[in-house]
Structure 1
Amino acid sequence: MDAVPGKGGAGIAEQAGPAGHGAEAAGGAATAEGYKRGLGTRQIQMIAIGGTIGTGLFLGAGTAISQAGPSLIIWYAVAGAVLFLVMRALGELLTHRPVSGSFAEYAREFLGPFWGYATAWTYWIMWVTTGMAEITAAGQYVKYWFPGVEQWQTALVSLVVLLAVNMISVKAFGELEFWFALIKVVAIVAMILVGLAVLVVGFGDVGDTASVTHLWKDGGVAPHGVHDSLMTLQIVLFAYLGVELVGVTAGEAEDPQKNIPRAINSLPVRFGLFYIGTLIVILSVVSWAEFSPGVSPFVAAFAKIGIPAAAGIVNFIVLTSALSSCNAGGLYSTARMLRTASVNGHAPKALSRLTGRGVPAPALWVSAVVMGLGVLINALDPEHAFAYITSVSTGGAILVWSVILVTHLRYRRAVAAGAAEPSPYRLPGAPYTNVLALAFFAFVTVLIAWSADTRIALYVMGVWIVLLLLGWAVLRRGRTTTRA
């Protein structure tokens, strides 16, 4: 059963939370959903920045560089352009009606109840599994300084601290994420400045050999061929995972009509600086052939330049990046999505409850407990568990981004029919840009299926889709029984 665009049943936009509705409390004024608008311009901007910088850049880029060479820069640019289209589509929906739970709620409104249910749960499992990987990785990073500390101990302490901060208020979450993102930005800017110093004045141990000619010499732009180069697109997309987080914050942002478009419009500059700019500098300072799979390109570049503290510095940055991902994606966004599912009748009713400060405490606890199970899984079988976990994240991201694009198409149709109000912030070139972005995601899906190393993502997502359909059947049967 499809919902009438703009008129779909009692969703999260029409319902207030059980607590905090219409009240003023720490963290700002209450929204119609019961949340508090406690995220200011400074925090929204940094969450948008932090969402586009993850361990995919600090760690994953090493494997991608060794496989694609300098052509990796091209794929980061292409993927960044496509993700900007996705975010413009989401931005148009957000300014039409800012809600927390954003794209899951819009999917329910414009595509129908099933798609709201499927999107919310897919986004939840995507970030919970990512949080599992990140919180476990944090334990590994701390062992660099303190080898005697057990990995599970660090993971548990990190999870408890992040949960405690999120339980306080959205303002506390926003402040912590601001500083996490700032550390990542400073690290990237430092890498670019040091790299430019090497190129311009011959600073460091590689000053005599550093040159932009590394970008097309040493085997060419795609030294292993176009096929191997294209196969890195999955890694590239994983690096962009989190760009949509700014959409989840809309319901708790101060002045979302101004702050959300501002954050989205700045994405091309951020993509250009943080990904493309960084890769150009790194691959000009050090030839792509000197990077190894599984080794951070930041560590390798700093070490080649001759900065002895490079490993320790980058280890701290990557630790921060992992905690940031767990904080923003693993806890904050999953709790909002889980509550959206609950309010719409797609999850236990108890998960819709808010504290007096507008915090979805039960949903936070559920996400945290499941992430805690991920620590146990990784401890029992770290070699195989990590592959399964990250494959769900990548497949889930492609599905969620595609749903955003299709939802936007249905929203535009509703506007044309007079069933929804037009937004002042629009996706240029729609519907053609929607189709272009969807075609890109379909192409990447084919590439994932092509490689035996990444095909597991499709298998896992296939199982997930079956579970979603079974869950939906149970929900529908329960409603039919209740009506009877």
Structure 2
Amino acid sequence: MKRRMAHRKLRSIHIFMITINATLGTGLYWRGGQVLELGGSLAVILSFLLMGILAWVVMQSIAELLCIWPVPGALAVFVRKFVDDELGIVVGIAYWFTYSVAFAYLISATAAEIHFWLDSAEFDGVVLYLIIPLILILINSFGVELYGWFEVATAVVKLSCLVIIIISMIVFAARGTHDLANWENPTHFDNCAAHNWVTALFMCLSIATFAYVGIETPAAIALEARPPKMKSTGSGESQQLNYTGNIGDTVRFSAKWISVFACFAYTLCGLLLSLTVDATNEKLPRVDWVDQSQAAVTSAFVLAAELSHAPGVASAFNGFLVLTALSCANTNLFIASRMLFGLINQIEGGPDERWYLNVLAWLGRTNSYRVPIRAMAVSALAFIWLPFLQLARSSAESSQGTETNSFDGTAAPECQGGGATSGITSFIDILADMGSVGVLIVWACECWAFIRYYNCINRHKDELMERKVPRVRRFDEGDDNDYPYISNGQPFTAYFGLIACLFVLLVVNGAALWNGFYVEPFLSSYLIVIIFILLWILLKYFRDGRWSLVDLSDPNTVESIIRGLHQFSFSGYPNESTSNTGRNSSMWPLSLLARSPREDR
């Protein structure tokens, strides 16, 4: 069983910094310029602010559940236990897909930033697309505690770079590097992409979603979090570390505050961007389905440095962006591997099992350092071929040339699409956008899970207290209450989060189609939703699942679910001499690909 458990060695500082690395990526530095060009100065602020508020609302529900049950594969487990078995499986798969494809996408995005200095297909293929991923795989092979400190170091550097960029942007704005034309017309929009500013704003909200992917990271890596207190017992070779306290205390700070930090940083940077770069600048990136024949574009922050004419600043900013993309890619690989491990680590396999269950059982093992190396390798290799498509695009561009398109923002420009590179570009962007849409689906499901959990323990609170079930006294204000954390404004916060996520998924993400049908935004917005629903239906048939939600009306069933989650929270504790050892206590059988116990259904 040890080969199916990970070490619980991540401290609170590790989890917070890992979450910083996962959240602070190219969503701000690259897509911020895309939002500015598309919707103008007001849209770039509102997009990051409103999506930040939604992220905070969602994290209220996730944080409360996570502080009670920091279990492996938490995001999938919460949905499975309180909503539906098969839905929980699909949530886990969608979440793994998001981070696995994001790992490859960020490697591809790094190439665009490297081209600021060097545009060489040979360098891209050998160094960026082959050697760099191998280095990141090697880093992810370290023991989790060593990896945690590596993440702390890179996050400190990344945060320092963010502070430098913010200070520099304030200086640029104070020096008046342009005439504030953005705020003379704050509702400027790309009238080739949208008929009106509201449509453009909705499209900007959809783009800004990508920047907040990662705020739920504490739930994805909770299986390796350790309790905040420990004491040593015994001596010599028999010495053991006995952990006390709740593991949820370790993840609480990150779960509560990362969305607040991200919202503040992104909104501030959006404001500064609107004060330093004109929204009509042709070097700003446009949405590809509007125009794939653009001149060379760059990050809006690098462009701001170029407009300042400060020597070397643009190059330094671009270096920051390269570091940001690579560190984010490294963290995304870590998250993807833990999500996959959380899905399959309790599949036993055996000669009587089906072949694919034996394969998954083999993948769900750790190495001697308790690192899920096999799940990590699968997560890395699943889409590692994606960056190499850039080489085919570069070859097409060099043989056919690239047209440029000028856009002054005052009259509807000629919308150019297609071309030799459009298929490759569209395919890469569609996969990346599907990932961010997938996270919105996960957010909605987590809010739904919390609503059902909240109503469930409210309904059965008396029975649960009589049976002395721990950590369920949410509505009891006694001094001996062991409930670890009560989130803000519940259950209204969860209802609002669910409705808002569905609104973004079904309405906001479709705004790009209001100006005519385009294949790329349709696939980017709705393909993952269609696949998600179809996979849910297929799993229902494949597992002979009930076409109903988990029955939470029986207090016996609810008690069984909650006690099982309590036991599962102890999985991976290193003090195996305690009572929380053995398969029946420390490792609750929760295989997400096997049929669940009947009482949960």
TM-score of the pair, normalised by structure 1: 0.83
CA change 1:105–1:142 in 2 (3 A) is same
Deviation for aligned residue 1:93: 0.9
- Matched with 1:28 is none
**C-alpha distance in 2, partners of 1:474/1:18?**
30
Rg larger for = 2
- Matched with 2:489 is 429
> In the alignment, does 2:435 pair up with 1:393?
yes
Which of 276, 285, 296 is residue 293 of structure 1 equivalent to?
285
- Matched with 2:132 is 158
Deviation for aligned residue 1:94: 0.9
Deviation sequence 1:365-395 (CA, Å, 0-9, x none): 1111213233345545632321221132122
Alignment partner of 2:38: what SS?
helix
**C-alpha distance in 2, partners of 1:70/1:238?**
19
**C-alpha distance in 1, partners of 2:315/2:171?**
21
- Matched with 2:344 is 342
CA contact (8 A) 1:166 1:172 kept: no
Aligned alpha-carbon RMSD (Å)? 2.7
CA contact (8 A) 2:114 2:322 kept: yes
CA change 1:469–1:310 in 2 (3 A) is farther
Deviation for aligned residue 1:151: 2.1
Question: Matched residues, percent identical?
Answer: 22
- Give the alignment of 1:75-224 within 5 angstroms: 75-148=47-120, 149-153=122-126, 154-200=128-174, 202=175, 206=176, 217-221=183-187
**C-alpha distance in 2, partners of 1:268/1:134?**
21
Runs of 4+ in 1 over 4 A off after TM superposition: 221-224, 344-347, 376-381, 475-480
Letter paired with 2:521: T
Letter paired with 2:275: S
**C-alpha distance in 1, partners of 2:206/2:33?**
14
CA contact (8 A) 1:105 1:340 kept: no
Which of 508, 515, 518 is residue 447 of structure 1 equivalent to?
508
CA contact (8 A) 1:67 1:232 kept: yes
Deviation sequence 1:176-217 (CA, Å, 0-9, x none): 3223323332222112212333455x3xxx35x576xx66x3
Alignment partner of 1:258: what SS?
helix
> In the alignment, does 2:375 pair up with 1:363?
yes
Deviation for aligned residue 1:73: 0.7
CA contact (8 A) 2:12 2:253 kept: no
Alignment partner of 1:232: what SS?
helix
> In the alignment, does 2:464 pair up with 1:461?
no
CA contact (8 A) 2:86 2:539 kept: no
Deviation sequence 1:125-148 (CA, Å, 0-9, x none): 111111221122234434544444
Stretches of structure 2 that go unaligned for 5 or more consecutive residues are: 190-195, 229-246, 287-297, 348-355, 393-422, 473-482, 513-517, 546-592, 596-601
Alignment partner of 2:213: what SS?
coil
Between Structure 1 and Structure 2, which shows a larger proportion of helix residues? Answer: 1
Letter paired with 1:112: D
**C-alpha distance in 1, partners of 2:80/2:185?**
50
Kindly tell me the number of residue pairs found equivalent between the two proteins: 442
Deviation for aligned residue 1:441: 1.6
CA change 1:199–1:66 in 2 (3 A) is closer
Deviation for aligned residue 1:238: 0.8
- Give the alignment of 1:256-271 within 5 angstroms: 256-267=247-258, 269-271=260-262
**C-alpha distance in 2, partners of 1:83/1:221?**
25
Which of 31, 34, 39 is residue 5 of structure 2 equivalent to?
34
- Give the alignment of 1:308-387 within 5 angstroms: 308-329=311-332, 331-343=333-345, 345=347, 348-380=360-392, 382-387=424-429
CA contact (8 A) 1:377 1:385 kept: no
**C-alpha distance in 2, partners of 1:93/1:248?**
13
> In the alignment, does 2:268 pair up with 1:277?
yes
**C-alpha distance in 2, partners of 1:179/1:476?**
48
CA contact (8 A) 1:198 1:210 kept: no
